Amino acid sequence: MKPSLSVVTLGVNDFARSLDFYKRGLKWATKASKKDSIAFFKLNGVILALYDKKSLAKDAQVEAKGNGFPGITLAHNVKSEKQVDEILKQVTKLGAKLVKKPQKASWGGYSGYFADLDGYLWEVVYNPFWKLDQKGSVILP
């Protein structure tokens, strides 16, 4: 199998509310089907999908119930500490929960975490050791 990640799908409890958060709040372009409760956002080579949580669980043939830390976080890399602060302020105004205030990281960067409307953890991070291309994609050293 080639190393690749194409789509990250988040199972959401209230599709319309989550769609509004990402589409209108964060102003991310999407192709969405309210009828099918699915939306796709193109993010620099990866697709982020929102899908009704119960339908996603049914598709995977697993239980939709569960709580606690799912063992995954999503990261959004930016070009400065100031951008980290600005984005975390923006998302909390949109209803996201600030989980970890932005701060210097032990490894030399700067980051904070928010939980989106369904509790998915996003790290907003500035890594001074990584460069970003014009699209905002990470260029690994």
* DSSP per-residue string spanning 26-80: S----EEETTTTEEEEEETTEEEEEEEHHHHHHHHTS-S---S--S--EEEEES-
- pLDDT, one tens digit per residue, over 36-50 is 889 999 998 899 999
The domain of 8 spans 1-59
Per-residue pLDDT at 32 exceeds 90: no
Coil, helix or strand for 20? helix
Q: Does 113 share its domain with 81? A: yes
- pLDDT bracket for residue 136 (50, 70, 90): confident
Please write the tens of the pLDDT for every residue from 65-119. 877 777 789 999 999 999 999 999 999 999 999 999 999 998 999 999 999 999 8
Asked if residue 124 lies in contact with residue 76, where contact means CB atoms within 8 angstroms, the answer is: yes
Residue 50 lies in a domain: yes
What is the per-residue pLDDT for 122?
A: 94
Does residue 64 sit within a domain? no
